[in-house]
Amino acid sequence: MSQPFRAERGGLVDRERSLRFRFDGAVYEGHPGDTLASALLANGVRVVGRSFKYHRRRGIVGAGAEEPNALVQLAVGARTEPNLRATQVELFDGLAASSQNRWPTLDFDVGAVNDVLSRFLPAGFYYKTFMWPATWWMRYEHFIRRAAGLGRAPRAADPDHYFKRFAHCDVLVVGAGPAGLTAALAAARSGARTVLVDDGAHPGGQLRREPHAVDDQPGHEWAARALEVLRGLPGTRVLTRATAFGWYDDDLVAVCERIADHLPEPGPHRPRQRVWWLRARRVVLATGALERPVVFPGNDLPGVMLASAAAGYAHEHAVQTGRSAVVFCNNDSGYAAARILHGAGVGVRAVVDARGGGGGTAARGDAQTAGAEIVTGAVVSAARGRGGVQSVTVQDHDGLHLSGSPRTLACDLLCVSGGWNPTVHLFSQAQGRLRFDAALAAFVPDAGRESVICCGAARGLWALDECLADGERAGREAAAALGYEPAAAPARTAPAPETAPTMALWEVPDGEVRRGKAFVDFQNDVTAADVRLAARENYSSVEHLKRYTTLGMGTDQGRTSNVNGLAIMAATLGRAIPEVGTTTFRPPYAPITFGAVAGMEVGRDYEPVRRTPMHDWHVAAGARMQNVGLWQRARYYPRSGESMADAVCREVRHVRETVGIVDVSTFGKIDIRGPDAAEFLERVTINRFHNLKPGRCRYHVMLREDGHVMDDGTTTRVRDDVFYMTTTTAAAGAVMSHLEYHAQAVWPELRVHLTSVSDQWGGLAIAGPRAREVLRAALDGADVGDEALPFMSSREVTIAGVRMRVFRITFSGELGYEVHMAADHALTVWEAVLDEGRGFGVEPYGTEAMAVMRIEKGHVVHAELDGRTIPADFGFDRMMRKDGDFVGRRALGREAFTDPRRRGFVGLVSRNGRPIPAGAHLVWNPTAPVPMHTYGHVTSTCYSPTLDAHIALALVEEPAKWKGRTLYAASPLKRRSTEVHITDPVFYDPEGRRARG
């Protein structure tokens, strides 16, 4: 297959091998070393997409990250990916891409009607219309949404893998152009741990786009060699295809390395991309500069390109981006482009230079070499053509207006250079200030962090010899600042042409008075007229300009448009450019896949799972597992044919009537010891602890300093100066931190040590009338009688070397014990209890049955302790210590906390045998019109198999008043309301006989 626009010689592509690829269904060929863009151009494909708003045909403008137009959708199926810049997609065999934002085809696109209607669709038109009729916005919006957007999201999950990785270095160099390479060499040679990253597949930056020699070697070879040297230096790391996309605090630079995007698939166990979290002590930014277009009517026609891009395609890819070119520039680099184009066989008709004096001597020589006419003091005032540029109009100008008579030049390629913008994105992200340099007509880095050093074109140096030397300086400076002794600087030879200064030219004069759109932002279809409209309507702050017109808000983030846009705004307002200023540079420098940012902690690995020692047992026993925070807990153990409700009722009955065991390993457990442990506990709970005897347990309540209940649990005095606290599962971490804070920061004088032993101990609870028998059997006959182990007491037993703590406490209200045993033995003990207890009928039960039984007993959990409740709401004030200080005490006296209308804790019983809906509120008359007053709300609800009734716990205002009366538990969401009787919250065994029995 022929590639009609591939030059016969030259280029850095591998002509020996051919790669086949598809674009919009058609098959083409390219070579290794091509990007999708260069391969398309080699095949003469000039229209590659449609623009965002007007759906205009667009071609390739740039050659790298700056590309605004050539966005394609890559591949199909699960690996499809929208909005990729064809200029950065490396070609591989079998690559398939399609154009975007067109329907049905790129050539015939219905959306192009917008272009016809465009005069009715200026910037921000949608703010002024679509308001009538008022209810129709959603309909208009439906069509607006369909018209907007670019590519299509994949529908399937991503088959590829991504990882992140932390790394540390002394000197990070971003950019492997001439400046970056010399900087990295200087830093690495002085002994600094150096990392060099570059966006491209190959080092060299601009050296790959221009036939310059460094040290008498072709630039790209010099760069490749420099990279080899770097790779060989100890402690040095080089990452290519790696974009530094964000600067973060304390010089953490995030770099996305595309490991496998140049391949059809990553291959087994190979990540596709990796994000490096690089912590650097010094950051050298050698990010180069990006060429800027000029705004004039017709400047968005396919075939109008950046001069450096056209030259780059010619030199690097041996691609002719046209047959007959005109170069339009305001600086010398356009002349060099002319020479390079000529070298690749492109005819260059003219170099149109806006500067009255034209280019420097070297530049003029370039134009002569290219055989191009030099037209100075002139501009391209318009480009014309159907489907692509066919001719340009050239006219003189006097800075303010066009002058003289226009001249038409036929051409199929217009190369534009409006000057260069240093790539200051990362510098700005690093809080560096910019300065407008009028001589360069560009924003350049000004004051910044000490640790961030710019060099080369990123700092506004355009000459190669200067860039090389500046990189060297930056690398040495970075290393020296860290105490490394820089090695002697090598002498380098490179061209040092004399150049004429750039002239500020953002927009060709008189653009406003002529027909034809002059684009500022190609991707978002923002024209110069839009910028002026924004000014007229007083959206004249650069930030308003951006948001009103969407200038610079596309996937290229205004790389080619922002400066022109703000300059046109400045001109319109008659202000200086620095007064208008830039918008904020934000990460990412270039769009980064979610997959890469997310790394491996996605899907099931988004958060880890915590497992109790009995986890596998529960799963094997067929338990339904449930997420509780990070934990998984056994919810219930269904038998065949049983519904959840059946299983839970059975488990509850079994505990109430016989005996059951439940895994309570998830409770937080804290070892609190030291001479002042009791004192400490008194300060962090509402309870008294000085008088607690060793071997006894106490229910404790902990408050936040604002008086609200934080958590509850039991605390056991193991020895005089050793306490063992349990917390709820959910609050374990928060409680530990809270206690550590008070021990370390508030009362450091207390001699107390806190150790989390949550994972040291597995826990199980045995409950039911036969609990003691089961326990005794399981504990080899240890004495667990009422005398040895009375209610709310604890003892330590060691059986066969297994250390256990047995607590006579209960959550279910039955005779109950908790056994905490060293975790690696927990499963053994659990199995032993089941084994030894089989004769007594022991069976496992889950958290759901536990929840039902605690509701029957009126015990509170986080549903009641919702962070808005205080001790008095539950009658906990009765156990509150009367004297002394504790966390939260002082906040309790507040007006609202003693107000009689506060909601207090009650029980509810359904009056009609119907369930009390979860999440219901208590109302007087559920059919009354809304909004209506609610008297309280249901916190926990269940069917109680024990009472054969639907019961619930609730918080209700003026509880004393309501007890004994009825209200409705209303759930309008479920269209249900249940009449409920308001009772005491303890439904079952209120005297607590069973637990003590």
Partner 1 sequence: MPPLGYIRAAMRYSVLSLARNALTGHRDWPQAWRSPEPRRHYQVVIVGGGGHGLATAYYLAKEHGIHDVAVLEKGWIGGGNTGRNTTIVRSNYLLDANAHFYEHSLRLWEGLSQDLNFNVMFSQRGVINLAHTDGQMESYSRRGNAMRLNGIDAVLLDRDQVRQRVPLLDCSPGARFPVVGGLLQPRGGTARHDAVAWGFARAADARGVDIIQNCEVTGIRVEDGAVTGVDTSRGHIGAGKVGIVVAGNSGRLAAMAGIRLPVESHVLQAMVTEPLKPCLDTVITSGAAHMYISQTDKGEVLLGGDLDFHNSYAQRGNLPRVEQVVQAAVTMFPFLSRLRLMRTWGGIMDMTMDGSPIIGRLPVKRLYLDGGWCYGGFKATPGSGWCNAWTIARDEPHPLNAPFTLDRFHRGWLIDERGAGASPKSH
Partner 2 sequence: MILIPCPHCGPRAQIEFTYGGDATVRRPDPGTASDTEWLDHVYLRDNPRGPHLEWWQHTGGCRAWIRVRRDTLTHQVLGAWPATGPVAGEATP
Partner 3 sequence: MTEPVRRSALEGHLEPGRHGAPDGARVRLSQGRVEGVTQLQGIGDGAAAGQALAALGFTGEPAAGRAIGGADLRLLWNGPGQYLAVSSRRHEQQLSAALNEALAGTGACAVDVSHARTLLRLAGPASRDLLAKGCPLDLDVMASGDCAPTVVSHFNVLLHCDGEDAFELWVTRSFAQSFLEWLLHAGAEYGVQVTA
Ligand X SMILES: Cc1cc2nc3c(=O)[nH]c(=O)nc-3n(C[C@H](O)[C@H](O)[C@H](O)COP(=O)(O)O)c2cc1C
Residue ranges binding partner 2 (CB under 8 A): 166, 248-250, 252, 277, 279, 431, 705-706, 737, 740-741, 744-746, 748, 885, 889-891, 893-894
Which positions ≥6 away from 794 have C-beta within 8 Å? Answer: 695, 696, 697, 716, 718, 724, 805, 806, 807, 808
Q: Which is nearer to partner 3, 294 or 732 (CB)?
A: 732
Q: Which does 584 bind (CB under 5 to 8 A by kind): ligand NAD, partner 3, ligand X, none?
A: ligand X
Which of partner 3, partner 1, ligand X, none does residue 583 bind (CB under 5 to 8 Å by kind)?
A: ligand X
Question: What is d(CA 913, CA 93) in angstroms, rounded to the nearest whole number?
Answer: 71
917 interacts with, out of partner 2, partner 1, ligand X, none, CB within 5 to 8 A per kind: partner 1
437 binds, among ligand NAD, partner 2, partner 1, none (CB under 5 to 8 A by kind): none
Distance between CA 99 and CA 979 in Å, rounded? 63
DSSP state of 614: T
Helices 771-778 and 823-836, interaxial angle, to 10°?
A: 120
Q: How far is the CB of 770 from partner 3 (least distance, A)?
A: 23
Q: Whole-angstrom Cα distance, residue 293 to residue 313?
A: 17
**Alpha-carbon span 546 to 582, nearest angstrom:** 10
Question: How many amino acids of this chain bind ligand NAD (CB under 6 A)?
Answer: 34
Q: How far is Cα 978 from Cα 707, in angstroms, rounded to an integer?
A: 34
Tell me which of 584, 627, 737, 898 binds ligand X, using CB under 6 A: 584
Query: Does 828 interact with partner 3 (rule: CB under 8 A)?
Result: yes
What is the per-residue binding string for partner 1 in 770-789, x denoting contact by CB under 8 A? --------------------
For ligand X, the closer of residues 149 and 495 by Cβ is 149
Q: Which stretch binds ligand NAD (CB under 6 A): 328-336, 382-390, 555-563, 948-956?
A: 328-336
User: Quick check: helix, strand or coil at residue 27?
Assistant: strand
* Residues 488 to 517 in contact with ligand X, rule: CB under 6 A: none
Taking the least distance from each CB to partner 1, the nearer of 29 and 81 is 81
**Residue list 551-580, contact with ligand X (CB under 6 A):** 553, 557
- DSSP output for 498-522: --PPP---SB-TTGGGSSS-BEEET
**CA–CA dist 66, 937 (Å, integer):** 58
132 binds partner 1 (CB under 8 A): yes
Enumerate residues 6+ apart whose C-beta is below 8 A from 416: 293, 294, 299, 304, 305, 306, 307, 327, 328, 329, 334, 380
What is the distance between the terminal CA atoms of the chain, rounded to a whole angstrom? 93
Contacted entry of partner 3, ligand NAD, partner 2, none for residue 601, CB cut-off 5 to 8 Å set by kind: partner 3
Of positions 73, 321, 333, 940, contacts ligand NAD by CB under 6 A:
333
Shortest CB 598 distance to partner 3, Å? 12
Contact 811, 854 (CB under 8 A): yes
Q: Does 586 bind ligand X (CB under 6 A)?
A: yes
User: Which of 381, 583, 715, 716 is in the footprint of ligand X by CB under 6 A?
Assistant: 583
Q: Which is nearer to partner 2, 706 or 877 (CB)?
A: 706
| Binder of partner 3 out of 77, 234, 268, 781 (CB under 8 A) | 268
Question: Which amino acid appears at position 689 of this protein?
Answer: F
| CA–CA separation, 285 and 184 (whole Å) | 11
Of all helices (H) and strands (E), which one includes residue 626? strand 624-628
Q: Does 164 bind partner 3 (CB under 8 A)?
A: yes
Is the distance from CB of 220 to CB of 315 less than 8 angstroms? Answer: no
Using the rule CB under 6 A, is 431 a contact of ligand X? no
State the minimum distance, in angstroms, from the CB of residue 736 to partner 2: 9
Looking at the DSSP assignment, which residues form a beta bridge with residue 793?
696
User: Scanning the structure block, which residue is given the tokens 């000057």?
Assistant: 419
Pick left, alpha or beta for residue 89 (phi over 0 → left; psi -120 to 50 → alpha; otherwise beta).
beta
If one asks whether residue 287 binds ligand NAD (CB under 6 A), the answer comes out as yes
Give whichever of 351 and 821 is closer to partner 3, judged by the CB atom: 821
- Single out the residue of 281, 449, 492, 704 in contact with partner 1 (rule: CB under 8 A): 704
Residue with tokens 């910028």: 531
Work out how close the CB of 376 gets to partner 3 at its nearest, in angstroms, rounded to a whole number: 57
| List of residues 6+ apart from 29 with CB closer than 8 A | 1, 3, 18, 19, 20, 21, 39, 43
- Judged by CB under 6 A, the chain residues 151 through 190 that form the site for ligand NAD are 174-180
376 forms part of the interface with partner 3 (CB under 8 A): no
Give, as ranges, the residues between 411 and 430 that touch ligand NAD (CB under 6 A).
Answer: 420, 423, 426
Whose tokens are 């596998």? That residue is: 616
Minimum distance of partner 3 from residue 725's CB (angstroms): 13
Site for ligand NAD in 437-456 (CB under 6 A): 456
Angle at 256 between CA 74 and CA 50, to 5 degrees: 30
Residue type, 979: E
Q: Which residues pair with 90 in a beta bridge?
A: 35
CB of 167 to partner 3, least distance (A): 6
The site partner of 544 among ligand X, partner 3, partner 1, none (C-beta below 5 to 8 Å per kind) is partner 1
Binding-site partner at residue 769 among ligand X, partner 2, partner 1, none, CB < 5 to 8 Å by type: none
Instruction: Report the candidate in 141, 22, 48 with the shortest Cα–Cα distance to residue 102.
Output: 48
Give the separation between CA 87 and CA 85, rounded to whole angstroms: 5
Contacting partner 1 within 259-318 (CB under 8 A)? 277
Q: Considering beta carbons, is residue 683 or 994 the nearer one to partner 2? A: 683
CB count in 10 Å sphere of residue 514:
15
Q: Is 318 helix (H, G, I), strand (E, B) or coil?
A: coil
Give the whole-angstrom CA distance, residue 968 versus residue 971. 9
Nearest distance from C-beta of residue 21 to ligand NAD, angstroms: 23
**Binding piece for partner 1, criterion CB under 8 A, among 528-536, 720-728, 776-784, 981-989:** 528-536
Contact pattern from residue 52 through residue 71 relative to partner 1, giving x for each residue in contact according to CB under 8 A and a dash for the rest = x-------------------
811 contacts ligand NAD (rule: CB under 6 A): no
From the list 430, 479, 423, the residue with the least C-alpha distance to 169 is 479
- Given 16, 25, 104, 120, the residue binding partner 1 (CB under 8 A): 120
- Map 370-437 to HEC letters: HCCEEEECEEEEEEECCCCCCEEEEEEECCCCEEEEEEEEECCEEEEECCEEECCHHHHHCCCCEEEE
Q: Which of 50, 55, 57, 193 binds partner 3 (CB under 8 A)?
A: 193
Binding string, 762-801, against partner 3, x = CB under 8 A?
A: ------------------x------------------xxx
Give the one residue of 107, 398, 498, 616 binding partner 3; rule: CB under 8 A: 616
Q: Given the rule CB under 8 A, which residues bind partner 3?
A: 163-168, 193, 235, 268-271, 277, 279, 599-601, 605, 607-613, 616, 631, 665, 671, 673-674, 751, 753-761, 780, 799-803, 822-825, 827-828
Q: Given the rule CB under 6 A, which residues bind ligand NAD?
A: 174-180, 197-200, 205-207, 243-244, 286-289, 331-333, 420, 423, 426, 456-458, 462-464, 467, 589
